[in-house]
Structures are given as C-alpha cells and as structure tokens.
Structure 1
Amino acid sequence: MKHAILFCLLAFFAEKSQGVCEIPFVENLYSNNFGSERLAISDYPYQVSIHYSFYGHICGGAILSERWIVTSARCVWQKSVEEFVIMAGSVALDDTSSRTLAWPERIEIHPEYDGSRLPEKDIALLKLNASLPFSDSINAIAIPEQDSLLGTGVPCKMAGWGAEEHNGDIPLDLRLLRFVTLDFETCQNVSSVLFSLPEETMCAIATDLTGDAVPCSGEWGSPLTRATGGGQQLIGLASRDPISCAFDHVMVRNCSLSLLSMFTRVSNFSDWIETTINEPATLLA
C-alpha cells in the first residue's frame, strides 16, 4: 500500500512538473560533464568536509572567514561540538598530506530551526578554535547582500562528497553538479503537490542527466555558488531530506528536465551571518 501511494504521488508530481519542462531556456542545456571533470582545490578553496565522530564525512560546508564555517543546520543539530573535525584544502577525503584539519569550538544554529524533515531556517555557523591558514587552496567565499534574489536561468554549481543513491557510499573525491536557478514562484507551483516550501528556499535544476543529478547523502550543507565579476559567490546550501534522492530518477523520467533541487537561500541570512560572527562578511552583489 505504501508503494502504491508513493507512486501515485510521483505521478501527480510528474504531471505538475510538465510546466517546468516548458521553460524556454532549458533547451539543449544538458551536458555529459558529471564525474568527468577532475576538480582542483584551487578552484574551490572555500570548500570544506565536515566529519563527525567515528562516522567520518557527513556534510559539506563553506569558509566565510579564517574562523567561521557555514553549513546546513541539520548537519550539526543535536550533536556535540567536541566530536566535529573540519577538513579544508583538499578535494580528496583520504588525502593526509595536503589537507588542513580544524576543530570547532562553538556551533550557532539559526534560532528558528526546529529539526523537522522539511525544515525552515536550515543554516548554521561553526566557529573554529584557531584561524585557518589562508592560501590558494584555503580561502573564504563571498555571500550576497541581504534579501537579494536571482531569477530563472542563472548558471550555478555545487561541489560535494555525495552518494549517488540514498545511503550509498560516500566518494573519496570531490565531485561537481551543475545547475541553473529557478524562480521561487515556479518552484513552489511545481512542488506544492508534495509539500510547501519555506520562503528561504532556493530552487535549481540540474543540467546533467548522465549521473547523480541532485544533492544526496553526504552533500547537505554543500555550497551552491555562482560566478560574479568579483569571483564565486555563495548563494545556497544543499538542504533536503536524504530519502528524497532515492526517488529523483523515478520522477525525472517523466520530464525532459532533471528534478528540482532545494537549497537554503543564503541571502535571506546575510544579516544574521554578519551579526553572529561579529565581523563583516565579504559581500558581492
């Protein structure tokens, strides 16, 4: 019975999603880039892997300053700060020669986060007990101005250490997913058959159907970024219930697009970030 209900929901979702398929800019978007690009840490110096206890890597995150990391609140919810280790400066989880390890001394979860499966305010900050040694392979990323919005069709990307299926193995090497943004109203219309989206949700459409097209286990908190004249800008954090990635390709077969992915829109929290870390973050319009 549960499976019958699930596939009925998926059918409704697929029918609703046909409107997204008609967006003109998506024609000829798809590439075969997934997994084919060898990533260099100098292109992603803001990227960190968050390790917890004996589990090892559990989430991604981004460097905001020498002492502060931003990630998804679900990654640190109800966990002990003493059990975390942050890895920076490497694209490989098993790299013991070039990586830098850091330890957080404080966790700041957004006060309105409640730990639900479709949470609101899914963002958290980790303060390190010592400054990161900034270099070509370790550096901060800029954030948007408060409440700035992106429309449909802005190219963006997310790098992370994520499984290709729910509860699958975490890869050792950093991998890249490419997206284009989708405006909130369209995304809300498509997703409303299954759930309502928090207002701070940023939606994006994967542009590659040759592999894992959406964030999955191990990629929560990973940074979604876009290129600006001043460099990469952090626009979103991977934020979605891990079970959903198990059904993405079922949904995607009903549409010429890959399934929508949901991120926490960072611009909704730029003021909170600056207030919490008590120092000006780098802002890029």
Structure 2
Amino acid sequence: FGLSLLILKSSCFKPKSTLCDLNNCGIPPLNTRIVGGEEAAAGAWPWQISMHRGGGHVCGGSLINNLWVLTAAHCNAGVPPEQYTLYIGRKSQQGANPQEVSRSVTQIINHPDYNSETSDNDISLMKMSSPVSFTQFILPVCLAASGSSLHAGTDVWVTGWGDIGSGVSLPPPENLMEVELPIVGNRKCSCSYAITENMLCAGQAEGGKDSCQGDSGGPLVRKQNSRWIQGGVVSFGIGCALPGLPGVYARVSRYETWIKSHITENQPGFIKITSSGTDSDLSASFFHVILLPLLMYFLLLLFTNRVLLKSSYLTRPFTK
C-alpha cells in the first residue's frame, strides 16, 4: 500500500500551550494514512492510549486532554489505579517507540450506573499521574457533544492492538491497527443485541471487519470537516467480525455532562456530530430495549470480554 505523509503547519502547535492545543483537538499534525490498509501509520491517531496491567496490554483508551483518558468501565472495574500504566504516543507493543511517554494512574472514575451484566454505561475516566505535553504524536481527540447522531452507513474508524480474529493474537511487532466501518442503526442493531440508548453499533453486514478482544476502551471516531470526533468507546460484541453481529460501543454524546462534571479544568473539546439517513443510533424501539434484552442476556453469558483488528479486524472484549 502507498504511504503519503503530509506535515501540516500550525501556529498553535506548542507542546506547553495546553489551551491552544485543546482548542484544536482531533487534528493530527501528521496527516498519515495507509490507504486501504490495516496498520496505522505513526502519528495517525495521536490520542490512542495503550493501557497496561501486569506488564501487558489489556485495553485501549483515548487522550481527551493533557491529564485525562477516556476508556471502558469493564476494562478497570474493581481494579486499583496503581495497577495500571498508560502509554501515549505508542505505535508498537514490541518494537521501539521513540515518541511515546508513559504515566501511572492516580484515579479511576467509572460511570455510577455502569452495569457489568448488560454493559450499559460502559464508560470510564482515568486520571494520569502528571500532565502530558502535546507533540505531533500526542494530542487529544474531540468528543461527540450531546445530541450527536450517527446514521446507518456513516463511515467511522476504530483503532487498537486487539486480536485479529477470535482467538488470533496480533502478530509481532504488534503495531497499532485501524479499520473503517459503517454505522449500524440502533433499530437494526437491536435485532442482534439488547442495546440501550447509551450504545451505538458499527460493522459490516457480511462481517470480516470489526474490533475484537484487546480493543476494548479504544475510540470509534468520525471525521467531520477537519476534525476527528470520538463518538464511541469499544464495549462488547459476540465473537469478532461475524456476519450480522456488529460491534457495540458506548455512545460518548450521552456522557458530556458526566465528563464535564469530573473534568473541571482544561475541559475536553465537544463537537456535535451530524449525519443524514433514516436509521440512527438514537432510534431503538421500546420492544427492543425492554424485551429483547431478556433473550440476549442469556446469549451474551456464553461469551467473554474482548478488546482490535487485522485482516480487517479490530480487537475488543465481550465486553471487547
């Protein structure tokens, strides 16, 4: 695949200029992309976080300002913050990462209504031990504001270091992977899962592309104008990249007020995502939200957490 590298000049790009950089969230200075590929270029997703516990990668996350990371609650529920190390600016899990920095975690705030059985409100904030300086490889992502809507067929991207298929680990050197997926409207997705209004779905009807174990907590982003906006957090799914079984993500726009209540300084940049279509991530019926969960709950008990991608897969846990 061809690789095109474009370095964008910005009068605002100063590592210590936090406010300035936050006003420019979601704009990677290194506008790199391997067209049609799966391996992410260095600097392509500068907000991507690798969460480590016990010496290895366990989940993804996203940098949302210079001190806070957004991830999934199932990634850290019940685990003390001191057991985690966060890597920012990382490309490879095994190779050299000259641009990365690491931070310990001092505080974990899981959503108070997180339900580990239904995966509802599967969202969490992690506070780093000290602020990071922004560089071309370390920048925050914008977040979807309240009222954002993603309609069926809208293209989004998911990134992570998860499995490349069910039970198939990402091969060495375990480089960051990326995959482009279409949004699956909640009306259709509710035929496969017991989803709620706090979730959104993405994946190809025929399967073959998805997030997977190890991608959990990572970002689902949509490019709007010149900015990348995070609309989802990798949460759960049945298997990886199976036909008719898209991945399910925590819908970030539902949590703007909650996030702002905990991050009172250098608040993340929130932007409303707009899209067009007929079946949106906001349109799940009462039947699907209330009754179908009873059936799907028992089906989901058969699977375990997963977390992003290759051969067009992204790995996540059942909880992805």
For normalisation by structure 1, the TM-score amounts to 0.77
Structure-1 residue corresponding to 2:228:
232
**In proportion to residue count, which structure has more helix?**
1
Cα deviation 1:109-134 (Å, max 9, x = unaligned): 00001322x31100000001101121
User: Do the aligned partners of 1:214 and 1:245 also contact (CA within 8 Å) in 2?
Assistant: no
CA contact (8 A) 2:159 2:218 kept: yes
Distance 2:228 2:103 in 1: 23
Find the counterpart in structure 1 of residue 160 from structure 2. Answer: 160
Distance in 2 between residues matched to 1:207 and 1:134, nearest whole Å: 38
Give SS of 1:215's match. Answer: strand
What does 1:184-223 align with in structure 2 at a 5 Å threshold? 184-188=186-190, 190-191=191-192, 195-206=193-204, 213-223=209-219
Cα displacement string for residues 198-257 of structure 1 (whole angstroms, at most 9, x for unaligned residues)? 221111123885x5x22111000110001011410000011105xx226x43xx2xxxxx
Is 1:69 the counterpart of 2:63? The answer is no
| Structure 1 vs Structure 2 CA RMSD | 2.1
Corresponding residue for 2:179?
177
Q: Is the 8 A contact 2:205 2:246 kept in 1?
A: no
Give 4+ residue runs of structure 1 displaced > 6 Å after superposition.
none
Distance in 1 between the 2:206 and 2:136 partners? 29
Question: Contact 1:214 / 1:259 at 8 angstroms: preserved in 2?
Answer: no
Residues of 2 paired with 1:186 and 1:198: CA distance?
13
* One-letter amino acid of the structure 1 residue matched with residue 179 of structure 2: L
Change (3 A) 1:173 1:132: same
Q: In the alignment, is residue 269 of structure 1 matched against residue 279 of structure 2?
A: no
TM-score by length of 2: 0.69
Determine the structure 2 residue equivalent to 1:144: 144
Contact 1:85 1:103 in 2 (8 A): yes
1:169: Cα distance to partner? 2.1
Question: Match of 2:102, SS?
Answer: strand
Answer yes or no: is the 8 Å Cα contact 1:64–1:70 preserved in 2: yes
1:181, distance to aligned residue in structure 2 (A): 1.2
Paired residues in the alignment total: 235
Note closer, same or farther for the CA distance 1:206–1:234 as it changes in structure 2 (3 Å cut): same
**Secondary structure in 2 matching 1:234:** strand
Taking the aligned partners of 1:208 and 1:230, their CA distance within structure 2 comes to 30
Which of residues 258, 261, 270 is equivalent to 1:283?
A: 270
State the secondary structure of the residue aligned to 1:168: coil
1:52 correspondence with 2:53: yes
